[in-house]
Amino acid sequence: MLNNLEPAAGRLLIAEPFMLDPGFKRSVILLTECNGQGVVGFVLNHTSGLFMNDAITDFPETETELFNGGPCNNERLHFLHRCPDKIPDGLPVGNGIFWGGDFEAVKTMFQLNLISRSEIKFFLGYSGWEANQLDEELDRNSWIVSDRFNNDLVFNGEEEGLWKQAVKNLGERYAHIVNFPTNPQLN
Protein backbone atom coordinates (compact mmCIF):
# COMPACT_ATOMS: atom_id res chain seq x y z
CA MET A 1 0.00 0.00 0.00
CA LEU A 2 1.35 3.42 -1.00
CA ASN A 3 -0.41 5.42 1.70
CA ASN A 4 0.89 6.09 5.16
CA LEU A 5 -1.56 8.92 5.85
CA GLU A 6 -5.31 8.92 6.30
CA PRO A 7 -7.30 11.41 4.23
CA ALA A 8 -8.12 14.57 6.21
CA ALA A 9 -9.08 18.17 5.54
CA GLY A 10 -6.03 20.17 4.48
CA ARG A 11 -4.26 17.18 2.89
CA LEU A 12 -3.74 16.40 -0.78
CA LEU A 13 -4.85 13.45 -2.85
CA ILE A 14 -2.38 12.80 -5.66
CA ALA A 15 -3.57 10.59 -8.51
CA GLU A 16 -1.47 7.56 -9.37
CA PRO A 17 0.37 8.15 -12.67
CA PHE A 18 -1.72 5.83 -14.86
CA MET A 19 -5.21 6.81 -13.74
CA LEU A 20 -7.25 6.85 -16.95
CA ASP A 21 -10.36 8.68 -15.71
CA PRO A 22 -10.03 12.01 -17.58
CA GLY A 23 -11.63 13.88 -14.67
CA PHE A 24 -8.86 12.75 -12.34
CA LYS A 25 -5.93 11.99 -14.66
CA ARG A 26 -2.75 13.32 -13.00
CA SER A 27 -4.87 15.38 -10.66
CA VAL A 28 -4.02 16.89 -7.32
CA ILE A 29 -7.00 17.38 -5.01
CA LEU A 30 -7.08 19.46 -1.86
CA LEU A 31 -9.36 17.78 0.67
CA THR A 32 -11.62 20.23 2.48
CA GLU A 33 -13.93 17.95 4.43
CA CYS A 34 -13.55 14.38 5.72
CA ASN A 35 -16.04 12.80 8.06
CA GLY A 36 -18.10 9.64 8.52
CA GLN A 37 -20.47 10.67 5.74
CA GLY A 38 -17.83 11.20 3.09
CA VAL A 39 -15.06 13.33 1.66
CA VAL A 40 -15.06 16.62 -0.30
CA GLY A 41 -12.18 18.20 -2.18
CA PHE A 42 -11.23 20.27 -5.22
CA VAL A 43 -9.04 19.36 -8.21
CA LEU A 44 -6.35 22.03 -8.19
CA ASN A 45 -4.81 21.52 -11.62
CA HIS A 46 -7.60 21.05 -14.18
CA THR A 47 -8.66 24.30 -15.80
CA SER A 48 -12.15 24.61 -17.26
CA GLY A 49 -11.32 26.97 -20.11
CA LEU A 50 -13.70 29.50 -18.55
CA PHE A 51 -13.09 32.71 -16.63
CA MET A 52 -15.01 34.19 -13.71
CA ASN A 53 -16.77 36.66 -16.02
CA ASP A 54 -18.09 33.72 -18.06
CA ALA A 55 -19.83 32.29 -14.99
CA ILE A 56 -20.83 35.37 -12.98
CA THR A 57 -22.10 38.22 -15.14
CA ASP A 58 -21.81 40.92 -12.46
CA PHE A 59 -18.31 39.90 -11.39
CA PRO A 60 -15.67 42.64 -11.81
CA GLU A 61 -13.69 42.36 -15.07
CA THR A 62 -10.84 39.90 -14.52
CA GLU A 63 -8.79 37.27 -16.28
CA THR A 64 -9.22 34.89 -13.34
CA GLU A 65 -9.65 31.27 -14.45
CA LEU A 66 -12.22 28.79 -13.25
CA PHE A 67 -11.06 25.27 -12.45
CA ASN A 68 -12.93 21.98 -12.70
CA GLY A 69 -13.23 21.17 -9.02
CA GLY A 70 -14.60 17.74 -9.85
CA PRO A 71 -17.58 15.95 -11.33
CA CYS A 72 -20.06 16.67 -8.53
CA ASN A 73 -22.51 19.57 -8.78
CA ASN A 74 -20.39 21.26 -11.47
CA GLU A 75 -22.84 24.12 -11.87
CA ARG A 76 -21.99 25.47 -8.43
CA LEU A 77 -19.12 27.89 -7.79
CA HIS A 78 -16.68 27.31 -4.91
CA PHE A 79 -13.48 29.05 -3.95
CA LEU A 80 -10.40 28.50 -1.84
CA HIS A 81 -8.30 31.36 -0.52
CA ARG A 82 -5.50 32.21 1.85
CA CYS A 83 -6.56 35.71 2.84
CA PRO A 84 -9.07 35.53 5.71
CA ASP A 85 -8.26 39.17 6.53
CA LYS A 86 -9.83 40.16 3.16
CA ILE A 87 -12.58 37.51 2.91
CA PRO A 88 -14.44 36.85 6.15
CA ASP A 89 -16.44 33.76 7.05
CA GLY A 90 -14.30 31.17 5.24
CA LEU A 91 -13.97 27.71 6.75
CA PRO A 92 -10.37 26.82 7.67
CA VAL A 93 -9.27 23.57 6.02
CA GLY A 94 -5.65 23.61 7.19
CA ASN A 95 -2.28 24.85 5.99
CA GLY A 96 -3.54 28.47 5.99
CA ILE A 97 -6.22 27.70 3.39
CA PHE A 98 -9.89 28.63 3.69
CA TRP A 99 -12.95 27.33 1.84
CA GLY A 100 -15.58 29.85 0.82
CA GLY A 101 -16.54 32.99 2.67
CA ASP A 102 -18.33 36.26 2.00
CA PHE A 103 -18.71 36.37 -1.81
CA GLU A 104 -19.65 40.08 -1.78
CA ALA A 105 -16.30 40.74 -0.11
CA VAL A 106 -14.60 38.73 -2.90
CA LYS A 107 -16.29 40.87 -5.55
CA THR A 108 -15.29 44.06 -3.73
CA MET A 109 -11.67 42.90 -3.42
CA PHE A 110 -11.55 42.25 -7.19
CA GLN A 111 -13.26 45.53 -8.01
CA LEU A 112 -10.68 47.44 -5.96
CA ASN A 113 -7.74 45.30 -7.18
CA LEU A 114 -6.97 44.30 -3.60
CA ILE A 115 -6.70 40.57 -4.23
CA SER A 116 -4.48 38.61 -6.57
CA ARG A 117 -4.61 35.25 -8.29
CA SER A 118 -1.98 34.02 -5.83
CA GLU A 119 -4.52 34.40 -3.00
CA ILE A 120 -7.69 32.81 -4.39
CA LYS A 121 -8.79 30.00 -6.70
CA PHE A 122 -12.29 29.39 -8.11
CA PHE A 123 -13.90 26.04 -8.98
CA LEU A 124 -16.96 24.77 -10.76
CA GLY A 125 -18.09 21.65 -8.94
CA TYR A 126 -16.24 19.52 -6.44
CA SER A 127 -14.87 16.01 -5.98
CA GLY A 128 -16.83 13.88 -3.56
CA TRP A 129 -16.75 10.39 -2.15
CA GLU A 130 -19.41 8.66 -0.07
CA ALA A 131 -18.46 7.01 3.21
CA ASN A 132 -15.78 4.31 2.61
CA GLN A 133 -15.62 4.99 -1.15
CA LEU A 134 -12.28 6.83 -0.96
CA ASP A 135 -10.91 4.16 1.40
CA GLU A 136 -11.59 1.55 -1.27
CA GLU A 137 -9.79 3.67 -3.89
CA LEU A 138 -6.85 4.11 -1.52
CA ASP A 139 -6.71 0.33 -1.00
CA ARG A 140 -6.41 -0.02 -4.81
CA ASN A 141 -3.54 2.51 -4.76
CA SER A 142 -5.46 4.95 -6.97
CA TRP A 143 -4.35 7.86 -4.77
CA ILE A 144 -1.52 8.92 -2.50
CA VAL A 145 -2.40 11.09 0.50
CA SER A 146 0.09 13.84 1.27
CA ASP A 147 0.61 16.58 3.81
CA ARG A 148 3.98 17.54 2.31
CA PHE A 149 3.21 20.89 0.72
CA ASN A 150 2.78 24.53 1.55
CA ASN A 151 -0.13 26.63 0.40
CA ASP A 152 1.97 28.18 -2.38
CA LEU A 153 1.48 24.90 -4.26
CA VAL A 154 -2.29 25.50 -4.27
CA PHE A 155 -2.17 29.11 -5.47
CA ASN A 156 1.07 29.45 -7.48
CA GLY A 157 -0.50 29.33 -10.95
CA GLU A 158 1.68 26.43 -12.09
CA GLU A 159 -1.18 24.02 -12.80
CA GLU A 160 0.68 22.31 -15.66
CA GLY A 161 3.46 21.12 -13.36
CA LEU A 162 1.46 20.86 -10.14
CA TRP A 163 1.09 17.07 -10.21
CA LYS A 164 4.85 16.61 -10.73
CA GLN A 165 5.66 19.05 -7.94
CA ALA A 166 3.24 17.35 -5.54
CA VAL A 167 4.83 13.96 -6.35
CA LYS A 168 8.35 15.35 -5.88
CA ASN A 169 7.30 16.74 -2.50
CA LEU A 170 6.57 13.15 -1.40
CA GLY A 171 10.30 12.44 -1.36
CA GLU A 172 12.80 10.19 -3.12
CA ARG A 173 10.68 7.08 -2.80
CA TYR A 174 8.17 8.56 -5.29
CA ALA A 175 10.37 10.88 -7.40
CA HIS A 176 10.80 8.36 -10.23
CA ILE A 177 7.08 8.28 -11.07
CA VAL A 178 7.08 11.88 -12.36
CA ASN A 179 8.76 10.55 -15.50
CA PHE A 180 6.22 7.80 -16.16
CA PRO A 181 4.36 8.31 -19.45
CA THR A 182 0.74 9.43 -19.18
CA ASN A 183 -0.32 6.36 -21.16
CA PRO A 184 1.95 3.33 -20.61
CA GLN A 185 0.54 1.61 -23.74
CA LEU A 186 2.16 4.30 -25.87
CA ASN A 187 5.58 3.66 -24.39
Percentage with pLDDT > 90 across the chain: 78
Q: Which of 3-7, 13-17, 47-51, 67-71 has the lowest mean pLDDT?
A: 3-7
Mean pLDDT (the chain, rounded): 92
Angle at 151 between CA 73 and CA 87, to 5 degrees: 65
**pLDDT, average across residues 108-118:** 95
**In this structure, which CATH number among 1.10.150.20, 2.60.120.10, 3.40.50.620, 3.40.1740.10 belongs to the domain 12-186?**
3.40.1740.10
Give the pLDDT of residue 78.
Answer: 98
- CA 170/CA 36 separation, integer angstroms: 27
Checking if the pLDDT of 160 tops 90, the result is no
- CA 121/CA 47 separation, integer angstroms: 11
Tell me the residue length of the chain.
Answer: 187
Give the pLDDT of residue 159.
Answer: 84
pLDDT band for position 158 (50/70/90)?
A: confident
Condensed to tens digits (0 to 9), the pLDDT of residues 29-48 reads: 999 999 999 999 999 999 99
- CA 136/CA 155 separation, integer angstroms: 29
Residue 23: how many other CB atoms lie within 10 Å = 14
Classify the phi-psi angles of 100: left when phi > 0, otherwise alpha if psi is within -120 to 50, otherwise beta: left
Give the pLDDT of residue 4.
Answer: 77
Cα 76 to Cα 22, 67, 79: the distances in Å are: 20, 12, 10
Closest CA to 148 of 23, 40, 3: 3
Question: Are the beta carbons of 72 and 128 closer than 8 angstroms?
Answer: yes
Checking if the pLDDT of 52 tops 80, the result is yes
Helix (H) or strand (E) holding 81: strand 72-81
List the chain domain ranges: 12-186
pTM for the whole structure: 0.93
